[in-house]
Amino acid sequence: MKSNVGGIDRILRIVLGLVLIGLTLSGNIGVWGWLGIVPLATGLIGWCPPYALFGWSTCSMKKSG
């Protein structure tokens, strides 16, 4: 798997996932908050299946030479 989630996108996914899971554990939102596992996992891994499917990437381009 080639990394396709980079920089700010990765940080936002991790934060969003943690917030959703935290709100679920504190009882502020229902079981739908467990969907926070998805952005948390994709942020930690650095790879997003829909991005791969559509050929998108938020990783910065590396200069050669």
Q: How many helices (H) and strands (E) does the chain have?
A: 3, 0
Residue 64 has pLDDT above 70, yes or no: no
Confidence of residue 2 (pLDDT cuts 50, 70, 90): confident
Contact 23, 33 (CB under 8 A): yes
* CA 47 distance to own-chain centroid: 8
Domain boundaries, the chain: 7-52
pLDDT tens-digit readout, 7-46: 999 999 999 999 999 999 999 999 999 999 999 999 999 9
Whole-number CA gyration radius for the chain: 14
Q: Which residue has the tokens 């829909």?
A: 50
22 vs 62 pLDDT, higher one = 22
Average pLDDT over residues 43-61: 92
**Cα–Cα nearest to 53, from 4, 10, 14:** 4
What pLDDT, on the 0 to 100 scale, is given for residue 61? 73
